[in-house]
Structure 1
Amino acid sequence: MSATQILISLSGQIGLLLYGIHMVTTGVRRALGSRLTRVLHIGLQNRGCALLTGIGVTALLQSSTATAMMVTAFTAGGVVDLMPGLAVMLGANIGTTLIVQLVSFDITGIFPALFLAGCLAYRSGRTSAVRDAGSALIGLGLILLALHLLIATMEPLEQSQALSDLLRSVTADPLLTMLLAAGLAWAAHSSVAAMLFIMSLAGTGVIAPEAALTMVLGANLGSAFNPLISSLGDDPVRMQLPLGNLINRLVGCALALPFLGPLSEAMLSLDASPAHAAANFHVAFNVGMGLIFIALLPQMAHWLENLFPARAAARDPGAPRYLDEAAVSIPSVALANAGRETLRMADVIDQMLRASQQAFHEDDHEKIAATRKMDDILDRLFAAIQNYLGLIGREPLGDADARRLSDTLALAINLEHIGDIIDRSLMDNAAKRIRSGIELPEDARRQIDDMHTRLLDHLQLAVAVFMSGDVEAAHRLVVEKEGFRELERATTQRHVIHMRGGRRERIDASSMQLDIMRDLKRIESHIAATAYGLLELSGDLRSSRLQPRA
């Protein structure tokens, strides 16, 4: 085989390895969906739990970059503190070593079984979670197949004197060797892929054991640049966590580089296989850095927060705060961001409803105008959320994530419609009342106040349904909607009585009361719509209000 053929084969096999890692990461992330984010969030309670959570999540995802993006989104959004986020990254660095340890043993013969199991799950699975798990198994099989092919391709290279001389000259300088491996890990976006390639080189004797350990340091260093580069932007707080992780790697490389000779001998004394020695050093390096830095995290977090302070909150109330485009590649995190932004819309609706309630008690045109302007805030937030959800939906989603995207969009649409009703109808009636000098009767004002109060209560119920899937709150929303229909019917009957009475001022006041109540009923319908998806999922929603015909 010529040198060109070998190079092409190695490139293709490394590409297969990277695609297998991508399939494992994507399959696990889709299979677990928002549960992965929830587990990660729960685990960020203290340093110890956060470190263990980072190990577990990254072992599943096989990507410390994916874990870093998820935790960065939490810390940048203020959901969790920086210190436990840094602890997760210490755990994530350890988690990436587990798959390397697994494949350091001769288990390449099981990849046909993984392909078979994965294909059966993917083709026969009744739920998207099972199909996604099957995709992850196929990806794991591709990783093992790629490793098998890499070893087979590089075995003849051991006998090549020219290649041995070239690699000996390149790896003679430890710093240059480390930088080359760092470049490889950065380009591959995966320390796992870089490590498997280094183990293949070491296992076939193409590079010396000490050079292999140097490249292990480089692989760890290079993979820390990917989260840092993806966090570059206009918000400096996003730099805190990835920079802390990079500092951890830099300090570790600086401590280990002068002692690679003794470290190489120690690793080989534990296991004579150069490939196993590289894998063991990979674990020892990350465990050691975890033990060293776990005690220093409070000071590091304080220093990073001072170096990259959080950007002042935007004064523009219509500007989105949580729609981080860097998190779009992780649907569960991006959907959480979109949900938080949608709750800002709910807060604006709360303010508009309270202002609307006052508008029928006071003759203040300025307050009416201020309430109308709040609808502009809603429109801008809705447009931003809609565009963001469109970015999330470009890739196939699991059932849970797809349902969450649909629920988020539905709530945002309903809130935007509520804003339009308040702006274009309720405030029109409030302004008309002032212009025409219409005086609503005391009982009418009490009823309007009561309906506003109930709407505010129901808005909070709708938020509870959206956030926690509270079925009881969903039931209550639908039941209360029926009460609004009865109020409208009773008000319509009273209006007919006033029409028969013939008193112009009473008819005008009654007509305005009816218009206001219809608008409030429309708002109630949009709020109650939040419950339909959950009730349909639980089997508590009828498909139609019509009675079946005989």
Structure 2
Amino acid sequence: MKHLLNLLAAVALLVWGTHMVRTGVLRVFGANLRNLLAHSMRNRFTAALSGLGVTALVQSSTATSLMTSAFVGQGLIPLPAALAVMRGADVGTAAMAVLFSFDLSWLSPLFIFVGVVLFITRQDTTPGRIGRVLIGLGVMLLALRLVVEATEPLLESATVRTLLASVSSDIFLELMLGAVLAVLAYSSLAIVLLIAAMASSGAIPLDVALGLTLGANLGSGMVAVLTTAKAAIEVRQVTVGNMLFKIMGVAIVAPFMGLWVTYAQPHIPGAGQNVVLFHLAFNIFNSLCFIGLTQTVARWVSNLLPKPADHSAGSLLRPRHLDPSALSTPSLAISCAAREALHQADVVESMLIGLQKVVESDDAKLSHEVRKLEDTVDDLYSAIKYYMTKISRAELDEREGQRWTEIISFTINMEQIGDIIERVLQEIEDKKIKKGRHFSEAGKQEISQLHEHLLSNLRLAMSVFLNGNPREAQKLLEEKARFRDLELAYSATHLNRLADNTVPSIETSSLHIDLISDLKRINSLLCSVAYPILESTGALAPSRLREPVAK
């Protein structure tokens, strides 16, 4: 029992080490890796090479699959290009398995020592995150040595020998067991290294190890499929297409595994080296054989998982960019949340445009439709807020942490603007449309001008939120002062019309004053986007007071 627990603990360490390396690399280089993938789609071969390079760094074809799926879901790259990336990704993770199969145990204490020092002393910085990667590498190398040591006593058990003999009698069972292990471990790399270590120690015969290795390849594809099971159709198409490639490859290679044992084994020293080189050879064969079929498989997947037709406007107002698979990469998740915040602002812009149309046309039906959009703004705010809470702020660097705060603040402001517009429309219905009252021509013109300024400032605020340009932020604050001056001027001219006994102005006076006041509040919420950007550049004065007020 003790030896079995030692083996399970060693396997757990191996899986944990691969997890630390994967998450650490994504936290340090996530944005750069995304840019590399996004800019390497000139043809299927450059896409495959980028997939190979990225996967060699993150040591997980599943992580590369999820990043690539997110790009497809956001419409940044086409499905065939994403499938080409995955052809290279599988080769990348197989190459890392070959590297780890060498005796690098002497590096384990060095990696762990240096990694712990960096991680503890500079935890929230880039060197600290690199330290996390080094700890993961050290743990992986240590775990591989412990697996070999733990399997040796188990081989002396007659029960274990009988169990291993039963497995070797069924290739289908070997494939299933390898796939299940890869799914449970969330890493085909860890399982292939485990299989290689057990084969080198004599725990399992080579033919069984090869069957388990093919099964681990199937499992890695299944992990990505399961992870994106509830994602958008475009995202699922990538993982399902990659799974089809793996199934076809295994179906071709599995019947001929005996050829490897007969012709390759005599020239390769050690069973462990045989396993990792077979793993690499399989993925190279699979990639070269099917790289020309990415367009064909893309068509198959598109027919198997067709995009749903959007027949209702409401379907376009659901969250579009909050990709759950991006949460493992904080920089990618922050980008997804920012795009969804702009989507929320687009809905608010539609409400503002609708508000002006209602003021001009007194259309009660349109007013009701525009007010219903406020529910969409609230739903998007809730979805973004919930998504943001899943991003650990401890894993964000200083700039990402600031961006996290900016997104939350922006979405709160959009939600409040939606509330204001809904209330204003309700007041227009109650105080103007139902009573058959109208603004004076001069009053209507003033509201129209304020609305034009407000709509322009909303678009400027969206640009400031997206780009963080200090010059545009300063312009937005200048627009805030200009809007305040217009509001004061129009309030004064409205009072003059009251003094002149202008009947429409008298009938709608309360509504008119409240409306321009609410438009000013909306403008203030929009302009608040500029403050964090100007504050970070030191462009804001500490106080607007000329001197302290005397007590």
Pairwise same-fold verdict (TM > 0.5):
yes
Where does residue 293 of structure 2 map in the other structure? 296
- Identity, in percent, stands at 37
In structure 2, the partner of 1:204 is 201
Equivalent pair of 2:420/2:522 in contact (CA under 8 Å): yes
- Report the TM-score when normalising by structure 2: 0.88
Aligned-pair CA distance for 1:145 = 1.1
The residue that corresponds to 1:282 in the other structure is 279
Give me the TM-score of the superposition, normalised by structure 1: 0.89
Equivalent position of 2:226 in the other structure:
229
The within-5 A match list for 1:276-425 is 276-313=273-310, 315=312, 316=314, 319-325=318-324, 327-393=326-392, 396-425=395-424
Q: Which of residues 65, 68, 71 is equivalent to 1:71?
A: 68
Counterpart amino acid of residue 406 in structure 2: D
Equivalent residue in structure 2 for 1:219, among 216, 220, 228: 216
Instruction: Give 1:397-546 correspondences, 5 Å limit.
Output: 397-425=396-424, 428-429=427-428, 432-434=431-433, 435=435, 437-442=437-442, 444-494=443-493, 513-546=512-545
SS of the equivalent of 1:141 reads helix
Corresponding residue SS for 1:313: coil
**Which secondary structure state, in structure 2, belongs to the residue aligned with residue 295 of structure 1?**
helix
Tell me the alpha carbon deviations over residues 405-441 of structure 1, each in whole angstroms, 9 at most, x when there is no partner.
Answer: 3322222211111112222136525753453734324
2:446·2:490 contact (CA, 8 Å) conserved in 1? no
Q: Over residues 364-384 of structure 1, what are the superposed CA-to-partner deviations in whole Å (9 max), with x where a residue is unaligned?
A: 333333332222332233233
**1:32–1:129 Cα contact (<8 Å) kept:** no
What are structure 2's unaligned runs of at least 5 residues? Answer: none
User: Cα gap change, 1:180/1:433 in structure 2, threshold over 3 Å: closer, same or farther?
Assistant: closer
Closer/same/farther in 2, CA of residues 285 and 430 from structure 1, 3 Å limit: same
The answer (yes or no) to whether the contact 1:368–1:431 under 8 Å persists in 2 is no
How many residues are aligned here? 546
Distance change >3 Å, CA 301–CA 214, structure 1 → 2:
same
1:242, CA displacement in angstroms? Answer: 2.0
Provide closer, same or farther for how the CA distance between residues 282 and 257 of structure 1 changes in structure 2, counting only shifts above 3 A.
same
Q: Is 1:94 aligned to 2:84, yes or no?
A: no
Tell me: CA distance 1:160–1:371, structure 2 relative to 1, closer, same or farther (3 Å): closer
1:125 has 2:127 as partner: no
- The CA distance in 2 between the partners of 1:121 and 1:406, in whole Å, is 27
Aligned to 2:257: 260
Amino acid of the residue matched to residue 409 of structure 2?
A
Change (3 A) 1:164 1:384: closer
| Structure 1 residue 252 displacement after superposition | 1.7
Residue matched to 2:242: 245
CA offsets 1:250-270 (integer angstroms, 9 cap, x no match): 222222223323323554455
Task: Give yes or no for contact 1:199–1:278 (8 Å, CA) kept in 2.
Answer: yes
Within 5 A, what are the aligned runs for 1:161-172?
Answer: 167-172=164-169
The 3-state SS of whatever aligns with 2:306 is: coil
Moved more, 524-533 or 463-472: 463-472
How far is the alpha carbon of 1:513 from its aligned partner? 4.6
Q: Give deviations 1:45-91, integer Å, cap 9, x for gaps.
A: 54223222222222222222222223233334544321112122222
Shift of 1:498: 5.6
- In structure 2, the CA distance between the partners of 1:294 and 1:467, relative to structure 1 (3 Å rule), is farther
Contact 1:248-1:293 at 8 Å conserved across structures: yes
* Matched residue type, 1:422: I
Q: Which piece of structure 1 moves more, 353-362 or 433-442?
A: 433-442
CA distance in 1, matches of 2:271, 2:185: 23
Contact 2:175 2:215 in 1 (8 A): yes
| Counterpart Cα distance in 2 of 1:235 and 1:267 | 43
**1:267-302 superposed Cα distances (whole Å, 9 cap, x missing partner):** 445532322222222222112211111100001101
Q: Distance in 1 between matches of 2:234 and 2:363?
A: 43
Alignment of 1:60 with 2:57, yes or no, is: yes
Unaligned runs of 5+ in 1: none
Change (3 A) 1:504 1:173: closer
Amino acid at match of 1:374: L
Offset of residue 162 of structure 1: 7.3
Distance in 1 between the 2:475 and 2:512 partners?
26
1-structure distance, mates of 2:334, 2:311:
21
Q: Is contact 1:33–1:400 with CA below 8 Å preserved after alignment?
A: no
1:33, 1:401 within 8 Å by CA — same for their partners in 2?
no
Q: Is the 8 A contact 1:429 1:516 kept in 2?
A: no
* CA distance in structure 2 between the partners assigned to 1:224 and 1:271 by the alignment: 28
What's the CA shift for 1:355? 2.1
Deviations 1:202-254 (CA, angstroms, capped at 9, x unpaired)? 22233333433333222212222111223334865554222222222222222
Structure 1 residue 197: Cα displacement = 0.9
Contact 2:40/2:47, CA 8 A, preserved across alignment: yes
Distance 2:20 2:546 in 1: 49
What one-letter code is carried by the residue in structure 1 that aligns with 2:378?
A: D
For the residues of structure 1 that align with 2:310 and 2:54, how far apart are their CA atoms?
31
For residue 15 of structure 2, give the secondary structure of its aligned residue in structure 1.
helix
With over 3 angstroms needed to count, the CA separation of the structure-2 counterparts of 1:375 and 1:50, relative to structure 1, is: same
Question: Which segment is superposed worse, 418-427 or 28-37?
Answer: 28-37
Matched with 1:15 is: 12
Secondary structure of 2:77's aligned partner: coil
Question: Greater CA deviation, 461-470 or 139-148?
Answer: 461-470
Q: 1:49: which partner in 2?
A: 46
